[in-house]
């Protein structure tokens, strides 16, 4: 592999491993959190978070990608001064936007709480609002570093965020629950998130200060320095469609938070509607978000890699990196989706059954939802990869449009299915499957067209699917052998998961879904 290609795989590995750790910590964090504030508190928590994610995405999603793309383009031309000027402009823009977003959320908290169907959520909106400012400013640093292909600081800041939640948010949640019930407990957890984001921002600022001499030593060609207004205009031109596209999924989550409880309350007691919503968003979607961390890492690395190649019109490198991104997305998506679907019930019972806050019936409902919802992982990983490729190719409007169409169908399907008592909350996972399937198909077409490549379906579909089938067979056999004992034994579940991972790895390596060049150095062995 060439040096840039090694950097792509290495960057995916760094952010992917950190992302997996963060998501795993996030799941483990939700277990004691659910035990501390209960299903009602989790419902309030997850009524606040979708709106927060939407406002956060509006504030910060597009500009980091634009920074990353612009900086990789400047540096490939040895234009260090323009790269740093881009960072300064972006830092100012994001600081202002973050401050305005924070003030808007605090001011609108009464309306947001009423719209979500729970006035108890108002304090939670206020407690999470400072995170908008902290994350916006931190996004400028992350985009600057990712454009330089420095993925480690982003990974460490993500770890600080998650560890901070455990160290700060859990005690605050327990304190709030003891002082004022589930609403105060949820607000305490959300305040802990704001504190953790502040600490992560301090780390990023310190790292940038430490690395400044190395950046200042980079070569500088004899090129004019662009005006700040021109840089701001280009940042806006690139970031607006990316922001709109990135807002679509959080918007769908916010719509869910407003729609699902209100639809179910037409035929269920409000308390049961809240519990069903809390099981779906607090347990099921939390678990699904664990493997998607690798998809996010893939997309984050594809943008600067493909953008740098695009600046130099190296379509061979573009096709190589795009193909690698699609293949990695499949290697992540296939086994994660099928494995989680097959082991949905034991995973939920073992992770959340011991808290005493969820009944066996609640966990059974969650298991059925997870069996379906986990299949969205496969589609989501590919949507993320194709979006990253298209953004690197300066076609950021395409994933924005395709995802908008998918989410519009998701809302329609939700409204049609969830309002039917016999279907209820079970309609939500089917709506998500339709959303990502509709978004993915045109994305793949445009990737092939604009990357000037032929998609290798054997690598994207056939080989990962074959390895996944090989993985699924022993899992099905173990489920048949152990039955209900899987729901109560960490040992048996661990054996099943490790066996599945080992079989998939061996099968994927045998059929060529995973290559020797994809492995970390310590697994490659010495060259003969």
**Structure token digits, residue 237:** 């031109």
Angle at 363 between CA 342 and CA 377, to 5 degrees: 40
Q: Quick count: other Cβ atoms within 10 Å of Cβ 179?
A: 10
Share of the chain above pLDDT 90, in %: 24
Which helix (DSSP H) or strand (DSSP E) does residue 107 occupy?
A: helix 80-115
Which helix (DSSP H) or strand (DSSP E) does residue 158 occupy?
A: helix 152-164
**What is the rounded distance in angstroms from the CA atom of residue 42 to the CA atom of residue 276?**
11
**What is the rounded distance in angstroms from the CA atom of residue 493 to the CA atom of residue 488?**
9
What is the per-residue burial (b if ≥16 Cβ within 10 Å, else e) of 102-130? bebbeebbeebbebbbbebbbbbbbbbbb
**What is the rounded distance in angstroms from the CA atom of residue 361 to the CA atom of residue 285?**
18
**What is the rounded distance in angstroms from the CA atom of residue 520 to the CA atom of residue 286?**
28
- Going from the C-alpha of 108 to that of each of 52, 101, 129, 404, the distances in angstroms are 12, 10, 11, 26
Q: How many CA atoms lie within 13 A of 100 on its CB side?
A: 9
pLDDT tens-place values along the chain, 528 residues long = 344 444 454 445 555 566 566 666 766 677 788 778 877 787 788 778 777 776 766 666 667 778 887 888 888 888 888 888 989 998 998 899 889 989 998 998 888 887 766 677 888 889 989 988 998 899 889 888 878 878 788 888 888 888 887 888 889 988 988 888 888 888 898 899 899 989 999 999 999 999 888 888 887 887 788 888 888 888 888 777 777 766 666 666 666 767 787 888 888 887 788 788 878 877 888 788 777 766 666 666 677 778 778 877 888 888 888 888 898 889 889 999 999 999 999 999 998 887 666 788 888 989 999 999 999 999 988 998 898 889 888 888 898 889 889 988 988 998 889 888 888 888 989 998 999 999 999 999 999 999 999 998 999 999 999 999 999 999 999 999 998 899 999 999 999 999 999 999 999 999 988 877 655 554 445 544
Q: Taking the CA atoms of the chain, what radius of gyration do you get in angstroms?
A: 23
Cα–chain-centroid distance for residue 422?
A: 31
From first CA to last CA, the distance across the chain in angstroms is 17
Using DSSP, state whether 87 is helix, strand or coil: helix
**What is the rounded distance in angstroms from the CA atom of residue 2 to the CA atom of residue 323?**
15
Enumerate helices (H) and strands (E) in the chain, giving the number of each.
21, 0
Q: How many CA atoms lie within 13 A of 491 on its CB side?
A: 2
């Amino acid at each position: 592999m060439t040096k840039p290609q090694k950097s792509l795989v290495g960057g995916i590995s760094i952010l992917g491993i950190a992302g997996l750790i963060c998501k795993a910590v996030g799941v483990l964090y939700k277990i004691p959190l659910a035990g501390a504030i209960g299903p009602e508190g989790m419902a309030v928590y997850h009524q606040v978070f979708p709106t927060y994610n939407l406002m956060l995405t509006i504030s910060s999603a597009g500009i980091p990608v634009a920074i990353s793309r612009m900086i990789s383009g400047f540096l490939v031309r040895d234009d260090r001064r323009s790269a740093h000027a881009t960072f300064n402009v972006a830092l100012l823009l994001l600081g202002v936007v973050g401050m305005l977003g924070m003030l808007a959320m605090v001011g609108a908290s009464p309306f947001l709480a009423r719209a979500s169907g729970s006035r108890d959520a108002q304090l939670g909106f206020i407690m999470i609002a400072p995170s908008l400012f902290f994350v916006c400013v931190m996004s400028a640093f992350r985009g600057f570093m990712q454009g330089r292909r420095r993925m480690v600081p982003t990974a460490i800041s993500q770890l600080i965020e998650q560890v901070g939640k455990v160290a700060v948010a859990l005690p605050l949640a327990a304190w709030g629950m003891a002082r004022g019930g589930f609403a105060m407990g949820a607000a305490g957890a959300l305040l802990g998130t704001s504190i953790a984001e502040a600490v992560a921002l301090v780390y990023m600022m310190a790292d940038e200060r430490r690395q400044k001499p190395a950046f200042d030593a980079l070569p500088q060609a004899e090129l004019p320095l662009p005006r700040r207004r021109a840089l701001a205009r280009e940042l806006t031109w690139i970031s607006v469609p990316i922001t709109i596209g990135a807002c679509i999924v959080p918007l769908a989550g916010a719509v869910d938070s407003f729609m699902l409880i209100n639809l179910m309350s037409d035929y269920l007691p409000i308390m049961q509607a809240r519990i069903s919503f809390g099981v779906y968003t607090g347990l099921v979607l939390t678990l699904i978000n664990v493997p998607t961390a690798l998809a996010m890492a893939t997309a984050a690395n594809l943008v600067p890699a493909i953008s740098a190649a695009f600046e130099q019109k190296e379509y061979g490198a573009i096709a190589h990196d795009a193909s690698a991104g699609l293949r990695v997305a499949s290697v992540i998506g296939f086994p994660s989706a099928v494995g989680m679907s097959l082991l949905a019930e034991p995973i939920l019972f073992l992770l959340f059954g011991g808290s005493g806050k969820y009944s066996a019936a609640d966990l059974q409902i969650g298991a059925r939802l997870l069996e379906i919802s986990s299949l969205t992982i496969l589609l989501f990983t590919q949507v993320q990869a194709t979006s990253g490729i298209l953004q690197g190719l300066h076609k950021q409007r395409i994933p924005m449009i395709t995802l908008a169409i998918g989410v519009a169908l998701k809302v329609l399907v939700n409204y049609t299915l969830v309002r039917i008592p016999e279907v209820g909350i079970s309609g939500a996972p089917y709506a998500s499957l339709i959303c990502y399937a509709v978004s993915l198909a045109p994305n793949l077409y445009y990737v092939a067209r604009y990357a000037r490549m032929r998609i290798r379906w054997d690598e994207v579909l056939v080989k990962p699917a074959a390895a996944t089938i090989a993985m699924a067979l022993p899992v099905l056999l173990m489920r048949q052998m152990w039955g209900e004992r899987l729901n109560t034994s960490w040992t048996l579940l661990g054996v099943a998961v490790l066996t599945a991972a080992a079989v998939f790895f061996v099968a994927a390596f045998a059929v060529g879904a995973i290559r020797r060049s994809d492995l970390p150095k310590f697994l490659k062995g010495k060259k003969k």
